[in-house]
Structure 1
């Protein structure tokens, strides 16, 4: 039984959350190091999803005050003074953490993180075939498979119907990534079937899809009472097209404007993936956001590339890291940023501090 007074390593996610990869592998969240012997959603049904051998083991370890090796990323972040997914989720479900008597059995599934497929029209340099079908043409760079393969977590509409029947009434947070989820027909089927009034939908998109396909998705997404959309943005214009191969900057801008019109700018935010390809130009991206979509600036978030290792900015030389940070701070002090308000300036400093902390951390 969990006792919050003596166990400060506890994480609620193995009790209330599932994260499903494009290949159907089951984990409690997207931060977990993949299990050595992973479980797959296709081998289970109903509440069995939450009772796999790996999830059962994690719950036992957390109840015992242990730090599962698969959860090392959170504990490393905390040791470095950062805020981890474990801390965020324990706080988000604070009342449950403090009042619930936890044992080895899971609670109702309330958070669901799903990659419906690896279907994607982009082949970003920092990605791989597991997350993008467009990557297979670059087999020599990343020889994972000899043939193009579409991976899908749910096999068909019937399996989605069954999942919604078993868990739909309990879900409160739905996170959908990819691939490009707006290109996956099964994602649209899921959106159509789920309760769009009592669920918060968090969606990630690269915005590279035909307007007709985007409009069909927007018609469904508009029905959600609570929605947040992360727009992937790693560079501006030609720099963006270089990092995110297959991206058309003009189409990106057109689709972004359509999203703003249909969903509302207040529901959108940019997410920058920091790598050795753009670590020195983070402020260039932030300046563009400030100029073109100012209200979205303070909602902009960062994440960081760990693999492929050649794009892991932590592996750069000390002099290169210093040059990246000088470049960012130099632009921040220039005339381009003169009319920032206190909140905007503070947010940019916070993002740059995250970059600096990541660069100085061990890979």
Structure 2
């Protein structure tokens, strides 16, 4: 983590020297309104930036079935496929360059619908563009994200077979194309990486990740390692690799009430998960690394979100809210207007602290989530918006 004073200094410099590029003669580009871009730039932790998003300039995301994308929120536009193409060919390929060109013109229409919708809704926390503001642009990716398999021990009601082998009863998504040759190809990129992130499935059940972690620990100890875990897998093998590295941990945790937790996280034991959460908390504190709690707001837990924030504050963990699009029967975006209004009223009445830096960040994330609810509430023709609902779902069809 960049020290807070350093962040303030960088933000001040960026604000002082930032000058928005002219988009006159933008041609076929569908640029976001300059007012939206201006307001968003004011919220970026490192201050205003030249480009709306740096993901395609700095990051590669290796998804299931060999698909390589620029960001987990843009699964529509595939940058390339492994093993049909090697990693270097994908990074320097036509699709990456096309997406970069769109981004340079503030145009998020090339698959970036999740962040586009969040920005237009003024839910700036829901737009993840700022995650990639760090680091200078190089001729190689500095952030590598891995989603190599869907092996998972849970059957969460908010998940689907693509992301959980336990739900993938027919094994449709369980044949990973990421072989030993992939590990050899990725090594030169791992040597130069600044950040690496690991998703699943459940990362601690995916054997290929251990190969990558071993390599990072030996060859690039300075690279950040973040694991997005469900928090239920904590055995000697996991503890051993954790102790030899410096891992940041994000834990998917949807409720601090036993009944709701075990209903959402099917196959998980609440008491054991709390015990594991405490272990990860102590580990991150001892290693001086990041701990995050990632709830997925849905109809089962939406009124418990403030309680999740309070628990996170006690653990000095940051809270980040996922956006659930499907299953439709659990999603929030497609609720009737009066139901959304009721939820907004109850969440707005919550009195959350914001004295410490962590509390302030979590308070802001909570308020931005309420802003997103208000945007859904105020969609045109909300009461009879079947067409609008389907349209919105189609723009966000993979997450």
Moved over 6 A (4+): none
Distance 1:87 1:283 in 2: 24
Shift of 1:110: 0.8
| Change in CA separation of 1:50 and 1:341 when aligned onto 2, cut-off 3 Å | closer
Unpaired runs of at least 5, structure 2: 1-18, 24-49, 377-391, 393-399
Task: State the Cα RMSD in Å.
Answer: 2.7
CA distance in 2, matches of 1:328, 1:68: 32
Which position in structure 2 is the counterpart of 1:351?
A: 365
Q: Is the alpha carbon distance of 1:288 and 1:16 closer, same or farther for their aligned partners in structure 2, counting shifts above 3 Å? A: closer
> Offset at 1:345?
5.9
Paired residue for 2:355?
A: 342
Counterpart CA distance in 1 for 2:359 and 2:171 is 48
Contact 2:90 2:96 in 1 (8 A): no
Q: Given the alignment of the two structures, is residue 121 of structure 1 paired with residue 153 of structure 2, yes or no? A: yes
Using the TM superposition, give the Cα deviation of residue 302 of structure 1 relative to its aligned residue in structure 2, in angstroms.
1.5
Residue 234 of structure 1 corresponds to 254
Counterpart selection for 2:201 from 137, 157, 179: 179
Q: TM-score, normalised by structure 1?
A: 0.79
Counterpart of 1:321? 340
Counterpart of 1:25 (choices 67, 77, 93) is: 67
> Map of 1:258-273 to 2, 5 A cutoff?
258-264=279-285, 267=289, 268-273=291-296
Contact 1:280 1:323 in 2 (8 A): no
Q: Deviations over 1:70-103 (max 9, x none)?
A: 12322332223315333442x323xx36xx8xxx
- Of 226, 234, 253, 2:274 maps to 253
Name the counterpart of 1:34: 76
- 1:139-162 Cα offsets, whole Å, 9 max, x none, are xxxxxxx4464143522x342123
Residues 260, 53 of structure 1: CA spacing in aligned structure 2 closer, same or farther, 3 A cutoff?
Answer: same
Cα shift readout 1:252-285 (whole Å, capped 9, x = no counterpart): 1232233334443653221111122211221232
Aligned residues: 325
Aligned mate of 1:274, from 281, 297, 310: 297
* Bigger strand fraction: 1
1:1-363 aligned at under 5 Å gives the runs 5-6=21-22, 10-35=52-77, 39-63=80-104, 66-81=107-122, 82-83=124-125, 84-89=127-132, 91-93=133-135, 96=136, 107-137=139-169, 146-147=170-171, 149-152=173-176, 154-155=178-179, 157-164=180-187, 166-194=188-216, 195-209=219-233, 211-212=234-235, 215-225=236-246, 227-236=247-256, 237-264=258-285, 267=289, 268-290=291-313, 294-297=314-317, 299-330=318-349, 332-333=350-351, 340=353, 342-343=355-356, 346-347=360-361, 349-362=363-376, 363=392
Contact 2:191 2:220 in 1 (8 A): no
Q: Distance in 1 between matches of 2:316 and 2:360?
A: 14
